[in-house]
Amino acid sequence: MLNDITTLTKLVFEDILTSSKRVNSKKRLYDIYQNLKKVTEYIDLVANHYLVLNFTEEFLQNSSFGKPQDKWRFFLNKDLEALNLAVKDYLFSLSGVSLKDEEDSLISSKYNYKWFYGFVRDSYNVGFVQPCSAIVDIVQLNLKATNRSNIVQEYKKIELDSYEAKVNLQNYLLEQNDILKEYQKRIKEYILQKVSIEDLI
Domain boundaries, the chain: 3-200
> What does the alpha-carbon distance between residue 26 and residue 84 come to, in Å, rounded to a whole number?
25
pLDDT at residue 32 tops 80 = yes
The predicted pLDDT at position 150 comes to 73
The predicted pLDDT at position 39 comes to 98
Task: With H, G, I as helix, E, B as strand and everything else as coil, classify residue 99.
Answer: strand
Q: What is the pLDDT of residues 41-92, one digit of tens each?
A: 999 999 999 999 999 999 999 889 999 999 999 999 999 999 999 999 999 9
Helices (H), the chain: 3-18, 26-48, 68-94, 113-122, 163-194, 197-200
Q: Binning pLDDT at 50, 70 and 90, where does residue 9 land?
A: very high
Establish how many alpha carbons lie within 13 A of residue 17's alpha carbon, considering only the half-sphere containing its beta carbon.
18
Q: What is the pLDDT of residues 91-146, one digit of tens each?
A: 999 988 877 777 777 888 888 888 899 999 999 999 999 999 999 999 999 998 88
pLDDT at residue 15 tops 90 = no
The string of DSSP codes covering 18-68 is HSS--BS-HHHHHHHHHHHHHHHHHHHHHHHTTSS--S--GGGTTBTTBSH
> What does the alpha-carbon distance between residue 102 and residue 124 come to, in Å, rounded to a whole number?
28
pLDDT at residue 161 tops 90 = yes
Distances 73 to 51, 81, 128, 183 between C-alpha atoms, Å: 9, 12, 9, 31
The predicted pLDDT at position 197 comes to 78
Average pLDDT of 16-39? 85
> What does the alpha-carbon distance between residue 42 and residue 37 come to, in Å, rounded to a whole number?
9
Distances 160 to 69, 110, 128, 166, 168 between C-alpha atoms, Å: 11, 32, 12, 6, 9
Query: Mean pLDDT lowest for which of 12-21, 78-87, 160-169?
Result: 12-21
The predicted pLDDT at position 114 comes to 86
pLDDT at residue 190 tops 90 = no
Average pLDDT of 148-154? 82
Query: Mean pLDDT lowest for which of 4-13, 140-149, 173-182?
Result: 140-149
Enter the pTM of the model: 0.92
**Burial 132-146, CB ≥16 within 10 A → b, else e:** eebebebbbbbeebe
State phi, psi for 97 to the nearest 5 degrees. -75, 125
